[in-house]
Chains A and B, each alone.
Chain A
């Protein structure tokens, strides 16, 4: 077998995996950074995104439209949840209460998906434009995975520039440091919180839609991916946006290469990575020690 080709193909695989992981981890870390909430329902929202995407494709035939409809739908669900339920807990500042509430939402979302779409997995076809393979160093490689790498990188750069350069981005960074002060400067922080929650939900939904053609939309997809996302956020640093990029890449590479070289330990290996990071830097690679 062609070794260089194998390495390149696995590397590209890892990048495409990292893209999917990034979509869920970055929302999780942004929401934590701004609101100090560990959103347990984030995996569920990712899953709902995948199913809404499936239905959009089924009704309209357009995969591209689903990339728009699913994030909007899920952002709306997230916005209502934040406004009606989550915001009632802010005065209590109780991490346990957030956990219970978002865990409750995760269960409700799973049941709702079960009721609406049934227990069987729903597969989404890869759009014509992205079907097929390209041959890289004599290794066939799916075009769709290259597309994932491109869209993941584009999203990461766009979000980073949004946070660094825009007014809203500055507001978000400021709220994560001192929400009370932002309020005292004349901005309604409640709106920023709702906005960031909706943004996090929309990005997760986008990840769900994009992963559906690879793994189908299935009921357990949320809980599978949320565990990886938690590991990423802990490795990268809770609340750190760049940390979520670095963490996604690390976890994806360890998963892809680990699964090949150490098949028996494939599942354990990302936890070993997390353990290592926690020993060396308890606050995560790019986070602050709390």
Chain B
């Protein structure tokens, strides 16, 4: 059984069908990239999977359970964490506090106000680990708003992994980064994914990043899936070439 299954997901805005009958199955442990030209519907697909936008039609099944129509925070509690295309942080909280709030929101005893220090201690530990993984430990006490753009993007990924998600959804993690920052981010992501315990959906513009990270690629064009498969198969696909990759190399 796939971890995430999209069955005929459709979303229209007035006359425009942004996501058109998308079927996609993602196995546990898989790193799936979703690519496509601007306006292909990648972000809309992300937003309907995570409950930010309602669907017009179709279903999302996560770990055998229907999650279509659940509010965002419930979807997150099921174990789907995401990052955003534009950086979403708490600028006046420290880097550590940013990650800690993500960690504590997932703790099983979070609604026990008198759970003693153990939830706090556990959340702190998870936050330390997430910062370590993102190589941000030295900025632990720095306010998030003071970090460089590249470090803010990494912090955001740290917040997502601190939720210990079963499915991690990364929305253009290298958006707006310099070449050096992108290389560093890719290296950190590769190390993180090398452990093999995460399932990831990655939306990304940068083809180099996609081919370095993804196991499988789904290509969207005008809201529809036009190709689906291993990176080499997708590269060789004629329709993909003309729709998207044609302009590159």
Could you tell me which A residues sit within 8 Å of B by CB distance? 166-168, 170-171, 173-174, 177-178, 180-189
Tell me whether A187 and B93 are in contact (CB under 8 A). Answer: no
User: B88 to chain A: which residues have CB within 8 Å?
Assistant: 178, 180-181, 184
| Shortest Cβ-Cβ A-B pairs, 3 listed | A186-B76, A186-B105, A177-B90
- Distance of A220 from chain B, by nearest CB (Å): 37
User: A186 to chain B: which residues have CB within 8 Å?
Assistant: 73, 76-77, 102, 105-106, 163
Interface size on B, residues (CB 8 A): 28
User: Is B82 an interface position by the 8 A CB rule?
Assistant: yes
Tell me whether B90 and A167 are in contact (CB under 8 A). Answer: no
Tell me whether B110 and A185 are in contact (CB under 8 A). Answer: no
- Distance of A184 from chain B, by nearest CB (Å): 6
User: Is B14 an interface position by the 8 A CB rule?
Assistant: no
Cβ-defined partner of A185 (8 Å) among B52, B101, B119: B101
Knowing A167-B110, A174-B101, say if A184 contacts B82 (CB, 8 Å).
yes
How many A-B pairs with Cβ below 8 Å? 63
Knowing A181-B88, A181-B90, say if A166 contacts B159 (CB, 8 Å).
no
User: A181 to chain B: which residues have CB within 8 Å?
Assistant: 88-90
A186 to B105, CA, bound (A): 6
Chain A: interface secondary structure? helix
- Distance of A158 from chain B, by nearest CB (Å): 14
Q: List 18 A-B contacts (CB under 8 A).
A: A167-B104, A167-B120, A170-B93, A170-B97, A171-B101, A173-B90, A178-B88, A180-B88, A181-B90, A183-B72, A184-B72, A184-B82, A184-B88, A185-B159, A186-B73, A186-B77, A186-B106, A186-B163
Output the nearest chain A residue to B78 by Cβ-Cβ distance.
A186
Output the nearest chain B residue to A191 by Cβ-Cβ distance.
B111
User: Is B11 an interface position by the 8 A CB rule?
Assistant: no
A170 to B110, CA, bound (A): 13
User: A188 to chain B: which residues have CB within 8 Å?
Assistant: 73
- Distance of A205 from chain B, by nearest CB (Å): 20
